Amino acid sequence: MLNIEKIYKAQERIKDVVVNTPFSYAPHLSEMAEADVYLKKENLQVTGAFKIRGAYNKIATLTQAQRECGVVAASAGNHAQGVALSASKFGIKAVIIMPESTPLTKINGVKSYGAEVILAGVNYDEAYAYAKEYGQKNSLTFVHPFEDEEVIAGQGTVALEILESCKELDAVVIPVGGGGLISGMALAFKAINPKIKVIGVGASGAPALKNSFEKKVAIDSKSVRTIADGIAVRDASKITLAHMLENVDEFISVDDEEIASAILFLLERQKLVVEGAGAVGVAALMHKKLESLKGKKVAVVLSGGNMDVTLLSVIIEKGLLKSGRKMMITVTLVDKPGSLKRFTEILEELNANIVHIAYDRTSVSLEYGDANVTVHMETKGEEHQNKIRKVLKDEGYLRG
């Protein structure tokens, strides 16, 4: 059975490989949450996520015969990189099965550690099924991302580091996908200080484990859809669910809009790049999902930082629009010399910075002699945008 001693042994095994990541006070988030909030920055871990802890601990406990055959794993990215790097440390073969939709940055990260990558399945669970079959056919040891005691023990070392940095802790907020991280951490916290409240946060688009926790029985979901690809797990694990039912106090979820706002907040205010899965705890605090923690000392785990740059650019762009720092308007002008010049002069007078402009005179919805002008501009917030709309309406450019 998994116990605190196994987690201490794991800490000893992995100490020369993993980074004891920073654990630091977050003033802006503390003000928003009305609590003393500290961030455990596993996004700064080797490979960019906590997964190296469990992967290395597992491979370190394999027999020599198992190592000689090599290992196989299924992962959306972070566990994959953890297994790949761990295998390279021991000089053994590693084959990683990744979903077909895996971001290129994570595929390249795995390959950079010398592992072979095979893309199979539309989600983690389909990749997992392929990996199990592939491992049996090729005599490779399967390294599960969460249904394994040695892996869970390795993940639990995050809790030991937090307690070394802050003994007087009231609660900890932990991202949940398959449940390996929270299983190990919750066991460690409850063994050392049972008074610490352990709270799991999942993505509402991947509800299997949350539903299972509430019903106290494993319930799989039919599909998953979330920007937090690191916790997009379709099926509930009976093994991690059992650990959670024993040691976890609360389980909540956040949606993609809330996750995206947390990613942008961490980037702007904390100067941290955190992927969707790693940002769910911050999202829960920002969006008042954890009101019971007001006035408490709270640790939040930022589980990973391997963010798809393409998705990050979309999140930034949408965030700028929602916060009033960018706006787009379309107006209809008479298509003659000077019309566009006068329109842009008005925007200049209003201190709106044009970043993109499109001119369309061929749309079938236009009257002959008219043109649609679509302008993207940088603005200074909602008040500034309202002023722009009012002036353009008074000048006859906007109707209604």
Instruction: List where CATH 3.30.70.260 sits in the chain.
Output: 325-394
The answer to whether 236 touches 214, Cβ cutoff 8 Å, is no
**Is 262 in contact with 280 (CB distance < 8 Å)?**
yes
Q: Which pair of structure tokens corresponds to residue 367? A: 């009257």
Joined tokens for residue 128: 């997992």
What global pTM score does this model have? Answer: 0.89
- 51 belongs to the catalytic site: yes
Q: What are the start and end residues of each CATH 3.40.50.1100 domain in the chain?
A: 1-323
CB atoms within 10 A of CB 257: 14
pLDDT by residue, tens only, the chain of 400 residues: 799 999 999 999 999 999 999 999 999 999 999 999 999 999 999 999 999 999 999 999 999 999 999 999 998 789 999 999 999 999 999 999 998 988 787 788 899 999 999 999 987 778 989 999 999 999 999 999 999 999 999 999 999 999 999 989 999 999 999 999 999 999 999 999 999 999 999 999 999 999 999 999 999 998 889 999 889 888 899 999 999 999 999 999 999 999 999 999 999 999 999 999 999 999 999 999 999 999 999 999 999 998 888 899 999 999 998 889 999 999 999 999 999 999 999 999 999 999 999 999 998 888 899 999 999 999 999 999 999 999 999 998 886 5
- Count of CA atoms in the C-beta half-sphere (13 A) of 115: 34
The residue from 51, 197, 289, 297 that is catalytic is 51
Q: What are the backbone dihedrals phi and psi of residue 355, each rounded to the nearest 5 degrees, phi first?
A: -110, -20
Q: Rounded CA gap, 129 and 97, in Å?
A: 10
Choose the CATH number for 1-323 among 3.40.50.720, 3.40.50.1100, 3.40.50.300, 1.10.10.60.
3.40.50.1100
Q: Does domain 325-394 have CATH number 3.30.70.260?
A: yes
